Amino acid sequence: MKDHVFKQYDIRGKIGSEIDLDQVYDLGCAIAFYLKQQSPSVQRIVVGMDGRDHSPIIKKHLCSALVDSGLDVVFLGLCPSPLLYFSFTCFDVDAGLMITASHNPAEYNGIKIRLGDHSIWGTQIQEIKKCFYEKNRIEAFEKGEYCEKSVTDVYINWMVANFKHLKGLDLKILFDCGNAVAGIVMPKLIEKMGWKNTKVLFAEIDGSYPNHEADPTVEENMADAKKVLLQEGFDLAIGFDGDADRMAPLTKTGELVPGDKLMGVFSKYASINRRNFKVVYDIKCSSALSIYLSRLGIKSDVAPSGHSLIKNKMKEIGAHFGGELSCHFFFNDRYFGYDDGIYAMMRLLEILHSTHKSLDLLLEEFPKMICSKEFRIECLEEQKQKIVDDVTGAFAIREDVELLLIDGIKANCNYGSGLLRASNTQSVICLRFESVSQEGLEKVKNDFVNCIKPYFEESFLTKNIEI
């Protein structure tokens, strides 16, 4: 097991070269030991898995380790991550393990860990790593019990009961499940809601992701959906990621909507008739979101990227809603506060239904800003932070730049702003630029590219950072 698979928010890596399947049992023992150490009353663990090819063998070793450690296991089977979180409202369980690598390519897998109503992340993941390398395990007097239960129907029935007003919705909607676990839920949900004008792409579970990677925030992954959308005249298309904790829509005209613009839409309509409505957004979001929320009279705050950090900031300021550019959305308003792509979809459809407006039209009032996509540049894991530190030093000596350093570096100047940060989930650095003009956008981009040139071939940067 490679050191760097113990990441900021989960345990995740390439199967074979980074995660040895033969060591998953030992990892499960370490997780059990850590959970019991943190909360001696922990006894019942819920486990779910996504549709990746190696998820069943990971599940087998993981559940064996938990049971051998004296813990009881409730296995949910194939399910989206949000269904595992939802199961905490259905069963008396103490912790949860979700076998998934979310939006990563097919060769990756991993484990997300939840204790009570909190995600395990940061230094807690590092403590699990320590338990793993020290071979800590519980010497149980007797094995735990294992059972299998599904919450899929309960989850679907909850959605139907809470969105009765969307039954028989006449919008023409295209869904892309990406051959991932959204396909477990969406066909059944569509049938129960009586949505007749819909079409579902790639609902069959296939862990090799034969059609495209299950990350709908990437344009090329939505190419099939966009083609069908435009050819068949759908009102919108919605894609889901690998574990369905995110969704991203295409408008009627085929525009892929980033998370910050969607946050603007969600915030406006969730705040109606709500006093003191508060929103938290991540550092990657455009400054246009802050401007828009201010216009609406909505209080907002910025946080580093990462679901745990967003949720912590939301708790700190008592926020009703939070989200990220990457389309993780957290509704404390009418929901349980975790990221759920299917629930976010329902809230979006509710807005479209109640306003009788297209998504294109709703987005027109968002402040105009020219924003690049998020560029994710592969680099050596050990280089990520050094690149960020070097770029920070280069900008720090400039008198015309204002720096925000809560997560990497965000540099603001009179012609635009740029962000550089180290990814918490992959061996990449992330960049995004914005300006009110194309000329300013190019200038900001060049500022950052010149700073990172020592680490990359110039031809590589030219090819991979085009605006």
- Are 300 and 278 in contact by the 8 Å Cβ rule? The answer is yes
Residue 197 and residue 194: Cα distance in Å, rounded?
9
- The residue annotated as part of the active site, out of 102, 267, 300, 435, is 102
Give strand pairing partners of 330: 322, 339
Residue 348 and residue 264: Cα distance in Å, rounded?
11
Q: Hey, what are 443's tokens? A: 């200038």
In the chain, count H helices and then E strands: 15, 21
Q: Find tokens 């180290």 and name the residue.
A: 422
Residue 395 and residue 306: Cα distance in Å, rounded?
24
Q: Find tokens 């090799």 and name the residue.
A: 208
Closest by CA position to 45, among listed 12, 27, 67, 30: 67
Give strand pairing partners of 46: 74, 96
SS3 (DSSP) at 410: strand
Residue 282 and residue 237: Cα distance in Å, rounded?
25
Parallel, antiparallel or unpaired: strands 321-323 and 278-282: parallel
**203-229: string of b/e by CB count within 10 Å (b at 16+)?**
bebbbebebbbbbbbbeebbebbbebb
CB-based contacts of 224: which residues, under 8 Å, 6+ apart? Answer: 176, 201, 202, 211, 212
* 102 given a catalytic annotation: yes
Residue 337 and residue 463: Cα distance in Å, rounded?
39
Helix ranges restricted to H, 406-457? 438-452
Closest by CA position to 282, among listed 407, 366, 186: 407
Catalytic residues: 102
